[in-house]
Amino acid sequence: MQSPTIVTSHLTKRYGDFTAVSDLTLEIGRGEVFGLLGPNGAGKSTTILMLMGMTEPTAGSVRVCGLDPVRQPIEVKRHVGYLPEDVGFYDDLSGLDNLIYTARLNGLTEGEARSRSLQLMERVGLAEEIGKKTGKYSRGMRQRLGLADVLIRNPEVIILDEPTLGIDPSGIRDFLRLIVTLSRGEGITVLFSSHHLHQVQQVCDRVGIFVKGSLLAQGDIASLARQLFSCNVSAEGREYGLEDIYNRYFEGGTHNEDHTASA
């Protein structure tokens, strides 16, 4: 793994007696696509809020691009692009005009904003939709426009929070391919938060299995399979995948803090 872009150490967040995130220690390298995998309510969104400086940890520490989100939240936001599951745009403006507006807010001149926006519309596959009002965009088109919106500021890190919800299979395939291209081609670190096992397995270099606020295991799929099954090939001759690993943690009763594994 290259030098880490995201580092957490014993990161914990409590709300009264409820622990949303417990003792999270994690490193994510530059240019890595890391999958934060877990069911709804597992603590993924709370972790993202702490990474972005939008909520303060109860205990532990976090660094993003070498910055402390608690003390330097504005600086962190300059380095991090965030794409939520539902992106908001001005529906009466075209996709291009929405991007230009974001670019201008980020200090680009009118000419720079238009040039950059046109380039990004092409890059995310919306070159033929630049004049269409975003209120007429499909869900998949809005997410791709959202990714272009995130890229306006040339972020070092992109955080994706359930970005494929409501997108048709073809749109999901195109979106995931675009994520991998960004990571491989430009060294952008991607944190992909999802509960969709197949999508995480398709694009992520490593995964972290997150349940009830705790990180149960982290590593690439082959390493996790070796830890759990002693080998990565079953008796039937098939390779174990992320679904097998995930099911083993739940069905095997290993989901507690004492069984956290790292690969």
Q: Where are the domains of the chain?
A: 4-87+156-262
Q: Which residues contact 154 (CB under 8 A, 6 or more apart)?
A: none
Model confidence band, residue 254 (pLDDT cutoffs 50, 70, 90): very low
| Mean pLDDT calculated for residue range 194-203 | 86
Q: Which residue has the higher pLDDT, 169 or 10?
A: 10
Of 178-182, 193-197, 226-230, 246-250, the poorest mean pLDDT is in 226-230
**pLDDT for res 58:** 98
**pLDDT for res 259:** 38
Model confidence band, residue 185 (pLDDT cutoffs 50, 70, 90): confident
Instruction: Tokens for 190, please give them.
Output: 């991607």
Name the amino acid, one letter, at 225.
A
**pLDDT for res 192:** 95
Q: How many CB atoms lie within 10 A of CB 131?
A: 9
How far are the Cα atoms of 76, 93, 99, 130, 158 from residue 104, in angstroms, in the given order?
20, 15, 9, 17, 20
Mean pLDDT taken over the chain? 87
**pLDDT for res 201:** 85
Which value, in Å, is the radius of gyration of the alpha carbons in the chain?
A: 19
**pLDDT for res 260:** 40
Strand partners of residue 61: 9
**CA–CA dist 79, 30 (Å, integer):** 13
**CA–CA dist 134, 205 (Å, integer):** 33
Please report where in the chains the tokens 């975003």 appear, as a residue. 134
For domain 4-87+156-262, which architecture applies? Answer: 3-Layer(aba) Sandwich (3.40)
pTM: 0.85
Stretch (H or E) spanning 258:
none
Percentage with pLDDT > 70 across the chain: 89
**69, 52 Cβ separation under 8 angstroms:** yes
Stretch (H or E) spanning 60:
strand 59-64
**pLDDT for res 167:** 85
Report pLDDT digits (tens) over 102-147: 999 999 999 999 999 999 999 898 999 999 999 999 988 999 999 9
Q: How many CB atoms lie within 10 A of CB 180?
A: 15
Report pLDDT digits (tens) over 20-75: 999 999 999 999 999 998 888 889 999 999 999 999 999 999 999 999 999 999 99
Model confidence band, residue 232 (pLDDT cutoffs 50, 70, 90): low
**CA–CA dist 34, 13 (Å, integer):** 21
**pLDDT for res 22:** 96
Buried b (16+ CB within 10 A) or exposed e, 138-148: eebbbbbbbbb
**pLDDT for res 41:** 85
